Structure 1
Amino acid sequence: MEKRIINPWEWQNERSYVQAVEVKNPQGTLYVSGQTAISADGISSNEDMESQLKLAIKNLEQVITEAGYECSGIVRLNIYTTATHELWPHFSIIQDWAAKHNIKQATTLMEVKSLFETLKVELEATVVK
């Protein structure tokens, strides 16, 4: 697989994403449903944004790993949140996680009216290998 990053500007680098990712000759593509702070028993978290974000990342990693892919193969990450103002103070969690796995992804962040039950953040990814 070959990945090419397209960044006409530099400002997005501080925000831990890229403008576009071109993928050539992938061996596979994994489309991951939105992962949230739901326990292995299917119980939605009613914790704060930081706790929910950490569990959503953990769940995303688990799906990717169990599918035989690596987090470094994430090329698209959509972030849905019910409260952008609550997410911003914890955005470094996503940035540190992306840096740890050398993830260079196109990202869209959207504030939505609601998510399932008590959830505050959802992460949806496209992964290639």
Structure 2
Amino acid sequence: MKKKVINPWTWQEERGYVQAVEVKNFEAILYCAGQAAVLPDGASSEKDMKTQMLQALGNLEEVISQAGYACKNIVRLNVFTTSSKEFVENCFDLYKQWVRKHSVTTAVTLVEVNGLYETLSIEFEATVVK
């Protein structure tokens, strides 16, 4: 597989994403459903957004790993949140740490929504290649 990052500017590098990712000669694509802070027993977390984000990213890692893929090969990530402001102010630094830890270079879209399922405040939807 060949990945090519397209970044006409440099400002997004400190924000933990890229403008576009081109993939050639890949073996397979994994489309992940939105992963949120749903606990192993199926209950939705009632914790704060930062705690929910860590659980949701852990759930995303688990799905990707179980499918035989790697987080470093996430090429598209959509982030749905009930508050973009809270995400940027309280979670973004931890998100960027997660990106660095997994060597993720992905195109990202952040979307604020009126609500998510039950008590959830953040959800990640990924496309991964190998």
Q: Does the residue aligned with 1:102 lie in a helix, a strand or coil?
A: coil
One-letter code of the match for 1:75?
Answer: V
Query: Percent identical across equivalent pairs?
Result: 53
What is the CA–CA distance in structure 1 between the aligned matches of 2:125 and 2:101, rounded to whole Å?
Answer: 19
Matched ranges for 1:1-129 at <5 A: 1-88=1-88, 89-129=90-130
What is the CA–CA distance in structure 2 between the aligned matches of 1:117 and 1:12, rounded to whole Å?
Answer: 33
Where in structure 1 do 4 or more consecutive aligned residues deviate above 2 Å? none
One-letter code of the match for 1:2?
Answer: K
Q: Deviations over 1:70-114 (max 9, x none)?
A: 000100010000011221121111111111111100000000000
Q: Is the deviation greater in 105-114 or in 90-99?
A: 90-99
Gaps of 5+ in 1: none
> How many residues of Structure 1 are paired with residues of Structure 2 in the alignment?
129
What is the CA–CA distance in structure 1 between the aligned matches of 2:93 and 2:76, rounded to whole Å?
Answer: 18
What is the CA–CA distance in structure 1 between the aligned matches of 2:84 and 2:28, rounded to whole Å?
Answer: 33
Q: Deviations over 1:31-51 (max 9, x none)?
A: 000000001111001100111
In the superposition, the TM-score normalised over structure 1's length comes to: 0.98
In the superposition, the TM-score normalised over structure 2's length comes to: 0.97
Q: What is the RMSD of the two structures over their aligned residues, measured on CA atoms?
A: 0.6
Gaps of 5+ in 2: none
What is the CA–CA distance in structure 2 between the aligned matches of 1:86 and 1:98, rounded to whole Å?
Answer: 19
What is the CA–CA distance in structure 1 between the aligned matches of 2:104 and 2:48, rounded to whole Å?
Answer: 25
